[in-house]
Amino acid sequence: MAHLARLLCVILSLALAWAPPALARSSGPAYAAIVMDARTGEVLHARSADATRHPASLTKMMTLMMVFDALDAGTLSLDTRMRVSARAAKAKPSKLGLAPGSTLTVRDAIYALVTKSANDVAVVVAEHLGGSEPRFAQRMTQRARELGLRRTYFKNASGLHNPGQVTTARDMARLARALMVVHPRRYHYFSTRSFTYKGQTYANHNRLMRSYPGMDGLKTGYVAASGFNLAASAVRGSRRLIGVVIGGRSTKSRNEKMRSILDASFARLGVDGTDIRVASAPQPPPRRPGALAGALAQTEVAEGDAADAGDAAARVAAGLAAVRAHRVYLDAQKAPPADTPLLAAPAQDPYAGAWAIQVGAFGSRATAESATVEALASLPQDLVRPSGARVTPLATPGGGVLHRARIAGYTSRVEAARACAHLASCVPVGL
């Protein structure tokens, strides 16, 4: 009998260890907030950042992470059609109102999750990728652990309330940062202002993007148990911040709080509101402090010097010279051709190859060029490919333009991955 009692105690303790932490009861949603530097991960503001909270539709950031993972793995394409089950069609609002038996493309699903925060679409994605929503939620939790989200547990793909679906403000900020770092070329989806599906246009629930200078994403959320939540990112000057507010009493109070903590954090970094750039991914930090500043003082460097230079400053200076030369196109009011090289390739390019590294996709060409130049400065000499540095303008579904920054000329995925290991924001790309 004593042995049985001890066995029951062991089983109970193990169950408690793997169960999500319980939320303390209160008269209303509990507040939590954090502001993080997207490039370094430094926390600039925190209040109850590690306290257990319900994520609501911030959950859909992880659902989208899983979609982006599958797109990169090749198990999904943007044109893949996903079937709508009867269970998905019955999801509670907010929803698109999908009919059972109909299908939805992955492309439309991404936009519907970002803008409308459609719960029926979240279920469609979960069932397509996981077989069932509970199995997909288990995979979401596993992915959370891989990303360092230690206090987050998912029970569904939508964020509809489940007592066991919990997180922290810090974990949601880490998730937002992971989306930028792991999927820099897909972050632009979170900047979508509106989405039209079958003649109906849905506005993004994050209306703060229209009024807060430099804000370009990410996601809103609300259930009664959590209050009004927001994970957001904004750029001023060369600094990008990620803010998370959980437990707002209203949309207005949540947005005002986000404004306040972001403004205070930018001020702490010495960044004012006069230099606003909207970029679609955080720029990689220079690995050699001062190299970029030193290069700016140099005005005349031949393009060919970059391939032979043994120091980062010379490579950066060569990149800046190429950028200045490239801007002749703009001064002459001529549209630059797609994939215009920042550095002209020699007749026989010794760095020709079938792989590239993507530094990011940015809202301004100047930001994309700066990120490319910084990337060249950060790479070790044997991985520098100056002739492969390119910035390509890409049209977005919303009518805007993103500027994709890549460095080509790698002969294998392994070599491209080695280069990416030296950059904070980077992904190997097969050509």
Q: What is the pLDDT of residue 362?
A: 72
Q: Give how many domains the chain has, as a whole number.
A: 2
Please, which residues bridge with residue 240 across strands? 235
Residue 156 in domain: yes
Q: What is the pLDDT of residue 375?
A: 82
CATH number of the structural domain spanning residue 50:
3.40.710.10
pTM above 0.85? no
Task: Write down how long the chain is.
Answer: 431
pLDDT digits (tens, 9 = 90+) for 22-65: 454 444 678 999 999 988 888 999 999 999 999 999 999 999 99
CA dihedral 286, 49, 244, 97 (to 10 degrees): 130
pLDDT digits (tens, 9 = 90+) for 223-235: 999 999 999 999 8
Q: Which element (helix H / strand E) includes 177?
A: helix 169-182
Q: Looking at the structure, tell me whether residues 86 and 221 fall in a common domain.
A: yes
Residue 286 in domain: no
Q: What is the pLDDT of residue 312?
A: 44
Residues designated as active site = 57, 60, 117
Q: Looking at the structure, tell me whether residues 79 and 194 fall in a common domain.
A: yes
Q: Looking at the structure, tell me whether residues 220 and 301 fall in a common domain.
A: no
Q: What is the pLDDT of residue 397?
A: 52
Please report, for residues 60, 119, 214, the alpha-carbon distance to residue 158 in angstroms, rounded to integers and kept in the order given.
6, 5, 27
Q: What is the pLDDT of residue 425?
A: 66
Residue 275 in domain: no
> Residue with structure tokens 């070599």?
415
CATH number of the structural domain spanning residue 306:
3.30.70.1070
Q: Looking at the structure, tell me whether residues 142 and 264 fall in a common domain.
A: yes
Q: Looking at the structure, tell me whether residues 252 and 199 fall in a common domain.
A: yes
Q: Looking at the structure, tell me whether residues 60 and 153 fall in a common domain.
A: yes
Last residue within a domain, chosen from 268, 301, 318:
268
Q: Looking at the structure, tell me whether residues 370 and 310 fall in a common domain.
A: yes
Q: Looking at the structure, tell me whether residues 307 and 425 fall in a common domain.
A: yes
Q: Looking at the structure, tell me whether residues 46 and 191 fall in a common domain.
A: yes
Residue 279 in domain: no
Q: Looking at the structure, tell me whether residues 203 and 331 fall in a common domain.
A: no
Q: Looking at the structure, tell me whether residues 183 and 98 fall in a common domain.
A: yes
Please report, for residues 58, 94, 151, 244, 251, the alpha-carbon distance to residue 54 in angstroms, rounded to integers and kept in the order given.
9, 17, 11, 13, 17
Residues of the chain with pLDDT under 50: 7-8, 10-18, 22, 24-27, 275-313, 315-351
Residue 241 in domain: yes
**Containing structural domain, residue 302:** 291-430
* Of 352, 333, 331, nearest in space to 341 by CA: 352
Q: Provide the 10 A C-beta neighbour count for residue 393.
A: 16
Residue 12 in domain: no
Residue 18 in domain: no
